[in-house]
Structure 1
Amino acid sequence: MNCEIQVEQILLEITGVNFEKNSELKNMPFFGKKLHINPLYMVLVLMEIEKEFNIHFPEDEILKGNFNTFNSVMILLNGIMNKK
C-alpha cells in the first residue's frame, strides 16, 4: 500500500474525513472552517503516522505549519521517507 493511501486511511479512522473521496479537501487546513478537525485528533494522527512509518516528524516543521493540510503532511512525510 502506498503512503498516500495509508495516510488517507489513518485520517479516515481517526477524524472521519474521507480525503480519498473528497480530494478537494487535501489543500484545506485541518483546523479551518471547512474541516474543523479537533486538534487532539491531529495529535493522534501524527502519532499514528509516526508509528506506521517508523519515523519522527521534526517539531520545528510542525511549528512552521507543515502539518496543517493533507498535502503538507504528504510533502513532509515523503521528504522524511526519502532520507531513510
Structure 2
Amino acid sequence: MNKLDIYTVLVNIFEKRSKINFDENCDLKNENLFESKIMMPARELVLTLYDIEDYFSISIPEDVILSGRFNSFNNIYDIVKKLENSINFN
C-alpha cells in the first residue's frame, strides 16, 4: 500500500473514532491524543488500534504501545508505515 493510501485510511479511521478530520486539522497531527486539544477517550484509542490492525492486517507490537509512541496521528502513521514496510522499530 502506498503512503497516500495509508494516510487516507488513517484519516478515515480517526474521523470515525475521534470525530476529528486530521486532513482538515493539520495542526493537531502531532498533538498527544489524550491531552487537552484532542482529549480522545482511551476506549476510542483502543478501538482505533483494533481498526488499524484489522484494516492493514498488522499487529502493532506491545512495546511500541507501552513506550508511548502510539500517541499522536503522525506517530501512528509512522508506525503503520514502518510495519507495512517491515522495518524494525528498534
TM-score, reference length from structure 1: 0.96
Would you tell me which structure has more helix in proportion to its own residues?
A: 1
Aligned to 1:23: 26
Q: Tell me, which stretches of 5 or more residues in structure 1 are unaligned?
A: none
Q: How many aligned positions are there?
A: 84
- Give, in angstroms, the shift of residue 18 of structure 1: 1.0
Q: Tell me, which stretches of 5 or more residues in structure 2 are unaligned?
A: none
Distance 2:77 2:66 in 1: 16
Q: Taking every aligned residue pair, what percent have the same amino acid on both sides?
A: 32
Poorly superposed stretches of 4+, deviation over 6 Å: none
Q: Does residue 80 of the first structure (1) align with residue 83 of the second (2)? A: yes
Provide the aligned C-alpha RMSD in A: 1.2
TM-score, reference length from structure 2: 0.89
After superposition, give the CA deviation of every residue in 1:10-69 in whole Å (9 maximum; x if it has no partner). Answer: 010111011010011000000001000000000000000000000000000001111100
